[in-house]
């Protein structure tokens, strides 16, 4: 697909014209070009997932959702207790992609300059001049390990970079590499000496994913793969250009007005001031999901639709991605926290209400 066609398709899609979106012809049938792009999309995704699964055991939803976010150009927050493979997952994804990778271990004494870089004084041609020394953020995939252990000032430096996709030092702007993804981890149970991310900064993450404990058979497989003399070799099977191209392909997937209305209802019903919001929302939620949540849900639902072999977004796609897209964007009330209500429970209640 040419850039001209992509721009034209995106413009038509934004105007609600699904019949000429570049995926469908005048009779609502998929074009040959669209079929080829979709097949290539699914092929790369499945090859990439299979390579990751050479090392990773279980965590199917986590792997799918991380790849979904990467394709959409988003960042992911992985939450789970130590030892569940959060860092290993990021390392494995980095090896499966032909992209540069760096890791930052967040600690309370980490400075913003340790992340973004700084100007250093060097001698050149008999003169002393300042030269920018890039920080580890200048890569394609950045692992921010235990992000909640750094001070708010340092967290802000990274999160601003995530949003702007560039770094400004001493008034000079330095663009980051493309693509650029941050995969951050945090431990939900050990809170001593940590600095929880503010809600406005959590909103920068595309998904928040919970990494769960493996079951018995998965435990056995983990020991088999990691307890021997050798470990599975992960080969790079996709490039940055392919990931960017997949992201552009996704934008062609149209969404019907009725499905879009359903998506909007789901997000709006998380707000306690909405007249139609469920009683649990009015009682347990202080602030609902942002408009960025709706953008995230739409982008992720398009990926899921394409992987399911469909050329349109369905309600099941919206429902499937709403929890990871909104769980970090809801602010519970004091009563909700006191009663142990989780954002996931609220979102499922909202989905049920929106379907009525």
Is residue 59 a part of any domain in this protein?
yes
- Residue 7's pLDDT is 40
Examine the domain organization and report whether 354 and 276 are in the same domain.
Answer: yes
Examine the domain organization and report whether 177 and 71 are in the same domain.
Answer: yes
Examine the domain organization and report whether 75 and 219 are in the same domain.
Answer: yes
CA 317 to chain centre: 16
Give pLDDT tens digits for 181-199.
Answer: 999 998 877 666 678 888 8
- Residue 94's pLDDT is 87
Q: Taking each helix axis from N to C terminus, what angle separates 32-52 and 291-307, rounded to the nearest 10 degrees? A: 100
- Among the residues of 144-215, which ranges form H helices? 152-164, 199-202
Structurally, how many domains does the chain consist of? 3
Q: What is the DSSP string of 37-102?
A: HHHHHHHHHHHHHHHHTTT--S-HHHHHHHHHHHHTT--EEEE--TTSSHHHHHHHHHHHEES-EE
Is residue 115 a part of any domain in this protein?
no
- Residue 23's pLDDT is 53
Residue 315 has pLDDT above 50, yes or no: yes
Is residue 342 a part of any domain in this protein?
yes
Whether the CB-CB separation of 120 and 130 falls below 8 Å is answered with yes
- Residue 281's pLDDT is 93
Pick the most confident of 27-31, 68-72, 91-95: 68-72
Whether the CB-CB separation of 218 and 109 falls below 8 Å is answered with no
Average pLDDT, the chain: 84
CA gap 1, 22 in Å, rounded: 9
Question: Among residues 348, 347, 306, which one has the least CA distance to residue 314?
Answer: 306
Stretch among 82-86, 241-245, 337-341 having the lowest mean pLDDT: 82-86
Alpha carbon of 209 to those of 76, 233, 327: distances in Å?
A: 7, 26, 9
Is residue 89 a part of any domain in this protein?
yes
- Residue 27's pLDDT is 42
In the chain, DSSP finds a helix count (H) and a strand count (E) of 15, 13
- Residue 17's pLDDT is 39
Tokens representing residue 96 in the block: 């499966």
- Residue 192's pLDDT is 62
Whether the CB-CB separation of 20 and 12 falls below 8 Å is answered with yes
At 268, the pLDDT band (50, 70, 90 cuts) reads very high
Is residue 334 a part of any domain in this protein?
yes
Whether the CB-CB separation of 65 and 327 falls below 8 Å is answered with no
User: Counting every residue, how long is the chain?
Assistant: 356
- Residue 1's pLDDT is 40
- Mean pLDDT on 31-60: 86
CA gap 17, 75 in Å, rounded: 30
CATH of residue 264's domain is 1.10.8.80
Residue 308 has pLDDT above 80, yes or no: yes
CATH of residue 50's domain is 3.40.50.300
Examine the domain organization and report whether 310 and 355 are in the same domain.
Answer: yes
At 224, the pLDDT band (50, 70, 90 cuts) reads confident
Residue 328 has pLDDT above 70, yes or no: yes
Is residue 218 a part of any domain in this protein?
yes
- Residue 5's pLDDT is 38
Examine the domain organization and report whether 235 and 261 are in the same domain.
Answer: no
Rama region for 198: left / alpha / beta (φ>0; ψ in -120 to 50; rest):
beta
Tokens representing residue 88 in the block: 């290993």
Examine the domain organization and report whether 296 and 314 are in the same domain.
Answer: yes
Examine the domain organization and report whether 209 and 266 are in the same domain.
Answer: no
Residue 351 has pLDDT above 90, yes or no: yes
Residue 226 has pLDDT above 80, yes or no: no
- Mean pLDDT on 23-45: 71
CA gap 209, 194 in Å, rounded: 19
Tokens representing residue 287 in the block: 């602030």
Give pLDDT tens digits for 104-128.
Answer: 999 899 998 899 888 787 877 778 8
At 166, the pLDDT band (50, 70, 90 cuts) reads confident
Examine the domain organization and report whether 76 and 177 are in the same domain.
Answer: yes
Q: In terms of residue numbers, what domain contains 72?
A: 31-108+138-252
Question: Among residues 77, 287, 278, which one has the least CA distance to residue 183?
Answer: 77
Q: How many CA atoms lie within 13 A of 112 on its CB side?
A: 14
Q: Which residue has the higher pLDDT, 69 or 32?
A: 69
At 310, the pLDDT band (50, 70, 90 cuts) reads confident
Question: How much is the pTM?
Answer: 0.84
Is residue 329 a part of any domain in this protein?
yes
| Cis upstream peptide for 337 (omega within 30°) | no
- Mean pLDDT on 97-104: 90
Residue 331 has pLDDT above 70, yes or no: yes
Burial of 148: CB neighbours in 10 Å, binned 0-12, 13-18, 19+? buried
Examine the domain organization and report whether 156 and 219 are in the same domain.
Answer: yes
């Amino acid at each position: 697909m040419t850039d001209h066609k992509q721009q034209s398709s995106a413009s038509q899609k934004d105007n609600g014209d699904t019949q000429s979106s570049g995926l469908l012809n005048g009779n609502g049938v998929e074009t040959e070009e669209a079929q080829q792009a979709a097949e290539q999309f699914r092929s790369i995704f499945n090859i990439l997932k299979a390579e990751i699964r050479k090392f990773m055991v279980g965590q199917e939803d986590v792997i799918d959702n991380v790849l979904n976010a990467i394709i959409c150009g988003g960042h992911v927050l992985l939450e789970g207790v130590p030892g569940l493979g959060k860092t290993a997952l990021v390392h494995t994804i980095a090896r499966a992609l032909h992209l540069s990778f760096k890791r930052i271990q967040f600690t309370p004494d980490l400075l913003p300059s340790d992340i973004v870089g700084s100007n250093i004084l060097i001698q050149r041609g008999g003169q002393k001049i300042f030269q920018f020394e890039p920080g580890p953020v200048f890569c394609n995939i950045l692992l921010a390990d235990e992000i909640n252990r750094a001070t708010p000032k340092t967290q802000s430096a990274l999160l601003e970079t995530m949003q702007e996709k560039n770094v400004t030092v001493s008034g000079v702007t330095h663009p980051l590499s493309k693509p650029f993804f941050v995969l951050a981890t945090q431990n939900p149970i050990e809170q001593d000496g940590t600095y929880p991310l503010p809600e406005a900064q959590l909103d920068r993450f595309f998904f928040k994913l919970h990494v769960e404990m493996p079951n018995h058979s998965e435990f056995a497989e983990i020991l088999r793969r990691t307890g021997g003399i050798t470990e599975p070799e992960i080969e790079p099977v996709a490039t940055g250009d392919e990931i960017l191209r997949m992201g552009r392909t996704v934008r062609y997937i149209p969404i019907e007005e009725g499905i879009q209305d359903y998506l909007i209802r789901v997000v709006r019903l998380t707000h306690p001031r909405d007249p139609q919001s469920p009683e649990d929302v009015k009682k347990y939620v202080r602030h609902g999901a942002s408009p960025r949540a709706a953008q995230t849900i739409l982008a992720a639902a398009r990926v899921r639709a394409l992987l399911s072999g469909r050329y349109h977004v369905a309600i099941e796609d919206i429902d499937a991605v709403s929890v990871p897209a909104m769980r970090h964007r809801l602010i519970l009330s004091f009563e909700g926290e006191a009663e142990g209500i989780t954002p996931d429970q609220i979102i499922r209640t909202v989905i049920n209400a929106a379907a009525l």
